[in-house]
């Protein structure tokens, strides 16, 4: 089950990210540019240039009953870029997120 809690380690990618990037491309960024292993179970945060969109990448291992499992998460009222920046700055200051 996908869950984010205090026991996870969170890493923020410090550069703007194209939100069209797939799981595989983001995994490559984690491995090659952040120097981390995606399979460790840590959560990796990617934000677009305007700070209006965020992707959190966390490796989970499932045994699906069918050939394909698709999970869609929707945000009806996304926060403004200013709010996202403030939340992230606060989390980094409190040591909840490590910037690599």
Whether 94 is covered by a domain: the verdict is yes
Length of the chain: 100
Confidence band of 98 (pLDDT split at 50, 70, 90): confident
Whether 3 is covered by a domain: the verdict is no
Total Cβ atoms within 10 A of residue 16: 12
Element (H, E) at 43: strand 43-47
Whether pLDDT at 83 is above 70: no
First CA to last CA distance, the chain: 27
Whether 4 is covered by a domain: the verdict is no
Whether 45 is covered by a domain: the verdict is yes
The mean of the pLDDT values for the chain is 77
More confident residue, 69 or 54: 54
Residue of 11, 74, 15, 80 whose CA lies nearest to 51 = 80
Whether pLDDT at 75 is above 60: no
For the chain, what is the domain count? Answer: 1
> β-pairing, 97-99 with 54-58?
unpaired
Query: What pLDDT shows up at residue 63?
Result: 52
Confidence band of 93 (pLDDT split at 50, 70, 90): confident
| Host domain of residue 74 | 10-99
- pLDDT (mean) for 85-95: 74
């Amino acid at each position: 089950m996908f869950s984010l809690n205090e026991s996870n380690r969170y890493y923020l990618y410090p550069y703007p990210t194209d939100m069209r990037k797939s799981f595989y491309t983001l995994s490559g960024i984690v491995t090659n540019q952040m120097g981390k292993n995606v399979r460790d179970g840590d959560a990796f945060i990617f934000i677009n240039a305007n700070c209006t969109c965020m992707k959190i990448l966390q490796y989970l291992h499932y045994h699906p009953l069918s050939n394909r499992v698709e999970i869609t998460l929707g945000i009806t009222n996304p926060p403004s870029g200013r709010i996202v920046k403030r939340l992230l700055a606060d989390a980094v200051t409190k040591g909840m997120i490590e910037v690599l």
